[in-house]
Structure 1
Amino acid sequence: MKPIVLITRKVPEIARALLQEAFELIEWMEEEEPAPRSFLEKWIGEVDGLYCLLTDKIDESLIARSNRLKVISTMAVGFNHIDVAAASKRGILVTHTPEVLTETTADLAFALILATARRLVEASVFLREGQWKTWSPMLMTGQEVYGATLGIIGMGRIGEAVARRASGFDMKILYHNRNQKPEAEMRLGMAYAGLEELLQASDFVVVLAPYTQETADMIRKEQLQLMKPSAILINVARGGIVNETDLYDALQKGTIWAAGLDVFDTEPVPLDHPLLTLTNVVTLPHIGSASIQTRMQMALIAAQNLMKGLAGERPNFVVNPTAWSDVNTGQGKE
């Protein structure tokens, strides 16, 4: 009898075909709507594997309902939507899809730098609303990107990819990270800085840190006040890293010049959110990895992680390697 896998959303057919060949599937077939909690609770105790997305909250109470679950595979780099500790306690492997979306997300981060600096969205609306009457010297003037100082918070793969793009604009690059990276500094021509120093010196600040207890609310009123009045904040990491109330106040009062946001505390962001009323904010619906090629690769990697884990092989991208050790030593399940 084939193992049973629960899929929480309609996924690309190339990945679904692989899964269908290897497993019996229980699927939530909507593409635009996440599986309701009742659906997850109904089936989680009947399956060997779970294929989920970052929109699914896989918390301790849900995991506790699982009787035979062995692998949770998320089609995402981030995994803060999964209670990894609860999974590890029960010997359940958690896997994700890093690396593949590095370049695509870096492209999006730099697109936000350019869009905010040159007021592209605002200018497009200005034209479409018929407000463009004539050329004038200071019409829709923005900030220079070439030769500016870029501060990157979180120097992982995506941070390095953004730094490589910045070098083509002859930008001075600062970075702040848990650990200093001397080799990357030499290779990318960048310098390490404390958070305060980075915020004070940068014309653009790009947030790329993972969401953790330490990074929650990392950028709030005190940090925003350190930034230049001409500075621009870009967040393509997770919404909870930037305090949205404080950011709104800073943008409204001119504490900073603009912001580009691909992520929010609540997603989808409510349409009455104050940030959506500001013209100096470019807002996107969490599309950091949204190129066709990247999303296809993510779907395939998530499927392959699941297939390897349920076949007793170590998946390529395991979040909780201690759970793998426990499984292979007969420990882990309560």
Structure 2
Amino acid sequence: MVGKYDIEVYNNKAHYFLTVKRNITILQGDSASGKTELIRLIGEYEANGNSSGITIKCEKKCTVLTNVDWELRLASLNQSIVFIDETASFLKGKKFAEMVRGSDNYFVIVSRDDLALLPYSVEEIYGLKNVSDSSKYKSYKKVYNEMYKLYNLADVAGKVEPEVVITEDSNSGYECYKHIYGDKCETAGGKSKVYECIRQSDKDSILSIVDGAAFGADVGKVMRYLTLTGKKCVLYAPESFEYLLLKAGIIEVPKAVLEETYNYADSSKYLSWEEYYTDYIVQNTQKTVFRYGKTKLNENYTAPKIIDKIKNVMPEQIL
């Protein structure tokens, strides 16, 4: 499944707007913020249709997956947007994670917990906020619930002068960042180890670079720790290292591939956009001097002019 989809769900009491563009979207937030009510409305519409008094507007079928025969139901679904409440017992299980891989559905998951087995993006974690719009719907006085990004890591305020740069990547990405940051750079050895590296570091100022397209399950723990301790650390989360290479213009890339990735990264083939960008650069550099390998960086990427191109697409505050 590919594409970007607007979803509108409403009755005479509540009105929800959501936009989904990746295979996994996470909805978080405190109790009474409307998350469970959204799931209930979709489920009631499924059961009773228009007689429910609920309207759903979306190009794709919206459905709710519950504990009842969930494996059989999920196996039968295709080209659908599947909503799952955090009360679903299968949500954190290995079987569910396995069935998400290769599925041509999109998933909207309500969960206040981090879902470690699912590689979802830091850009697709949302809360629900209420926006009064009585001027538009005076007779109904509806309350609108729309999504807002829970973690916005793209903007770095002020110049960052780190004593250490911790990278999630231990292979090609790490080699490149080593050329940019020199001896300051060290690898965490994987996304699940970034938190411990930040926690154990004795440096006063830290920059951590992670692949945002798959770091969603880990970002909450990191941000909560930084908030609690006040430790000075900037988390820079581009989609992936391969995304930076493509954005840098080292090879010719159609603009839409980077700006409208949702139209290309088929969920039945790629579990995350990180996988899509990696596959794209591997396939499109095979017969060039910039042949890309994820485990070891082609030395042509370390040429001064190429390093400068990569730095030009990174925030100047962290360079």
The TM tier, using the shorter chain, reads 0.3 to 0.5
Structure 1 length normalisation: TM-score?
0.32
TM-score scaled to structure 2, two decimals?
A: 0.33
